[in-house]
């Protein structure tokens, strides 16, 4: 790297891959890496190799933006794989500042979807050069011509410049590893895509001779090196051992010596002595950096515009666990543990906000959506944390007549037979239909504008209504007028009135009153929610009641007890089920829904106030 000249700058390409969830961008990165000879010929490589996080592998989605680099001929292509889900758009917003172009991957059947619109709008506003990849072209139901027309219309809607409208189109199958510039052609590899990237994405504009300047766009942690800053060098060059400055708000905060510089080569991070403007690098010099801060030459303090991140729309309370089972399953249980972990998270999770409240045991955490906060909860419980969370609430703006609330742009794909049910359910939730268009195979696409409150708790209901066949996607649209009250959960809760272990004999009677969330032999406590009542009211039940032994024979004594299998709720489903007077107890081993007031007397007294 030390010998790099300005000529080598012309052989660098920095691009981000953006797409809606499940449109194939991570699979496309896999194939680019394979055909860029990143792996040995005999090397075993798992699918979606960029989804390295355990939660990403389980859920099949990208949560964190990742960096890699692939070589084609004598060009180095730095690739950023971005999340496709709207809740992780904070990851996308900060990462786009590092690149000069984007690969917009669109499913050749689905066409552009809500998240496509959101991320593309960000990319176009930053003046990035787009390349459109129509993926899954090998699908029997692919409709590339219609999908491309939809993409053109989307570019027009988003106000793309004339230059951006002249985007090249590549037809591809990421799964099979081929791409072509024309549908009439045939291809067996991704060379047409590599050539399009090199010819259309410009090399980075950079001043090699000026003083060093770089902005922190992400943070990584290494157990040996400590915290490392990820970013693109905007100006100059720098070497290991040099002293650089940390700039906050235009002022030099501290000086630090560069301990390590790493460059990306395929999936590996390679140590280098010198890095120069235009390249994306990892740099270790300061123990406590924040995203958006600037690293600069100490003699010439440089400034860069701050990274703009959209505001959160949903908040939850994170509380210290105070249930009867508190401290029995978690490793980190105190308010200090919880506070340290949450404030550590906001250093790298830029779309998250954490505020302290009047109580030292409670923190207000705000994010982009239920999934955004759900991933944080799941990550913390896997790390050994034990805590409680409240029902998600939307964040309003203004007061009184000026009150505004966040709206979501919602797209639903369902079979014709379920259209009526969906429209009927979204009516009370204040959904306003924008468009209804028939698709192939008897499906219909519905587009709505709906308050974010109206979507809380709807996903599970939607999957039940459509027998699991419907597709529901949404993205933040903006703030609008407050729509008034939206009805909450239709079912009350079945609440345990005893502390003990559930018994099949007792549960057989309880299950007639609703749906159980747990089976026999499970520890419960007074005030814990064990199921959903079939009626709108809450009902206190005794799931621990045992059959009394007598010396009198009964004609029903030999009847076998039959329990309906309980409905085990996932983390997202429990968050959707919660009401305002309930909390979710989160431990490494269990998720328990409970009432804020555990005894029935307390709840009755509270309802009379």
Annotated binding site for GTP: 22-27, 135-138
| SS3 call for 28 | helix
Q: What residues have CB less than 8 Å from 218, skipping those under 6 apart?
A: 65, 94, 95, 229, 230, 231, 291, 348
Q: Strand runs (DSSP E) across 266-333, as ranges?
A: 268-271, 274-276, 280-284, 294-297, 314-320
Angle between helix axes 114-125 and 144-157 (nearest 10 degrees) is 50
CA distance linking residue 136 with residue 289, whole number of Å: 41
- If one counts every other C-beta atom within 10 angstroms of the C-beta of residue 522, the result is 17
Residue in this structure with the two tokens 């072509």, named with its chain if needed: 180
The values of phi and psi at residue 383, to 5°, are: -85, -5
The values of phi and psi at residue 509, to 5°, are: -75, -35
Q: What residues have CB less than 8 Å from 144, skipping those under 6 apart?
A: 108, 134, 137, 171, 183
Q: Which helix (H) or strand (E) covers residue 367, if one does?
A: strand 362-367
Instruction: Record the tokens describing residue 324, joined without a space.
Output: 């009867």
The values of phi and psi at residue 283, to 5°, are: -135, 130
CA distance linking residue 232 with residue 240, whole number of Å: 16
Nearest to 32 by CA among 125, 115, 131: 131
Annotated binding residues, written as ranges, equal 22-27, 135-138
The CA angle 284-351-471, to the nearest 5 degrees, is: 125
| SS3 call for 170 | strand
Instruction: Record the tokens describing residue 530, joined without a space.
Output: 């064990």
Q: How far is CA 205 from the centre of its chain?
A: 31
CB 263 within 8 A of CB 269: yes
Taking CA atoms, 158 is separated from 108, 115, 308, 454, in Å, by: 20, 13, 19, 26
Residue in this structure with the two tokens 């708790």, named with its chain if needed: 457
List 47's β-bridge partners, or say none: none
CA distance linking residue 137 with residue 210, whole number of Å: 46
CB 347 within 8 A of CB 387: no
Question: Which region holds residue 224: left if phi is over 0, alpha if psi is between -120 and 50, else beta?
Answer: alpha
Four-residue CA torsion sign, 395, 397, 400, 405? negative
CB 287 within 8 A of CB 227: yes
Taking CA atoms, 177 is separated from 9, 32, 117, 604, in Å, by: 29, 8, 26, 64
Q: Which helix (H) or strand (E) covers residue 480, if one does?
A: strand 471-481
């Amino acid at each position: 790297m030390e010998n790099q000249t300005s000529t080598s700058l012309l052989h660098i390409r920095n691009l981000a891959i953006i797409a809606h969830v499940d449109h194939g961008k991570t699979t496309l990165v896999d194939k680019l890496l394979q055909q860029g000879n990143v792996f040995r010929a005999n090397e075993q490589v798992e699918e979606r190799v960029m989804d390295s996080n355990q939660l990403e592998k389980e859920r099949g989605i990208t949560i964190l933006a990742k960096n890699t680099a692939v070589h084609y001929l004598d060009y180095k292509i730095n690739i950023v794989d971005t999340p496709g889900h709207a809740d992780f758009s904070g990851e996308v917003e900060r990462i786009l500042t590092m690149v000069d172009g984007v690969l917009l991957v669109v499913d050749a059947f689905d066409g552009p979807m809500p998240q496509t619109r959101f991320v593309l709008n960000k990319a176009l506003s930053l003046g990035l050069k787009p390349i459109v990849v129509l993926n899954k072209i090998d699908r029997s139901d692919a409709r590339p011509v219609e999908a491309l027309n939809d993409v053109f219309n989307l570019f027009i809607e988003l106000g793309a410049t004339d230059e951006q409208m002249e985007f090249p189109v590549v037809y591809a199958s990421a799964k099979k590893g081929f791409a072509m510039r024309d549908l009439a052609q045939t291809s067996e590899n991704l060379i047409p895509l590599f050539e399009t990237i090199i010819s259309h994405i410009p090399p980075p504009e950079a001043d090699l001779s000026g003083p060093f300047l770089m902005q922190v766009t992400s943070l990584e942690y290494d157990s040996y090196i400590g915290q490392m800053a990820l970013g693109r060098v905007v100006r100059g060059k720098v070497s290991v051992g040099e002293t650089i400055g940390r700039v906050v708000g235009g002022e030099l905060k501290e000086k630090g010596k560069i301990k390590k510089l790493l460059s990306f080569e395929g999936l590996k991070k390679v140590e280098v002595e010198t890095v120069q403007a235009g390249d994306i690098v990892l740099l270790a010099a300061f123990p406590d950096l924040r995203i958006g801060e600037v690293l600069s030459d100490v003699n010439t303090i440089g400034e860069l515009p701050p990274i703009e991140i959209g505001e959160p729309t949903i908040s939850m309370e994170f509380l210290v666990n105070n249930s009867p089972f508190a401290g029995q399953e978690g490793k980190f249980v105190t308010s200090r543990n919880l506070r340290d972990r949450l404030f550590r998270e906001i250093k790298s999770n830029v779309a998250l906000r954490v505020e302290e409240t009047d109580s030292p045991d409670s923190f207000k955490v705000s994010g982009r959506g239920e999934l955004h906060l759900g991933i944080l909860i799941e990550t913390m419980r896997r790390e050994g944390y034990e805590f409680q969370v409240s029902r998600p609430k939307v964040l309003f703006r203004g007061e009184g007549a000026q009150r505004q609330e966040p709206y979501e742009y919602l797209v639903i794909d369902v079979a014709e037979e379920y259209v009526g049910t969906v429209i009927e359910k979204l009516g009370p939730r204040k959904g306003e239909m924008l468009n209804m268009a028939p698709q192939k195979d008897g499906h219909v696409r519905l587009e709505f504008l709906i308050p974010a409150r109206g979507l809380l708790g709807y996903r599970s209901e939607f999957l039940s209504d459509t027998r699991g066949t419907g597709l529901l996607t949404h993205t933040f649209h903006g703030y609008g007028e407050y729509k008034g009250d939206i009805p909450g959960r239709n079912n009350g809760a079945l609440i345990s009135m005893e502390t003990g272990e559930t018994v099949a004999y007792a549960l057989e009677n309880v299950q007639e009153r609703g749906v159980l969330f747990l089976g026999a032999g499970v520890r419960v406590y007074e005030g814990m929610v064990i199921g959903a009542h079939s009626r709108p009211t809450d009902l206190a039940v005794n799931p621990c009641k045992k059959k009394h032994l007598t010396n009198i024979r009964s004609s029903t004594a030999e009847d076998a007890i039959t329990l309906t299998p309980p409905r085990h709720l996932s983390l997202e489903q429990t968050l959707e089920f919660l009401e305002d007077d309930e909390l979710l107890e989160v431990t490494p081993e269990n998720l328990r829904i409970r009432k804020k007031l555990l005894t029935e007397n307390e709840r009755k007294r509270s309802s009379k106030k």
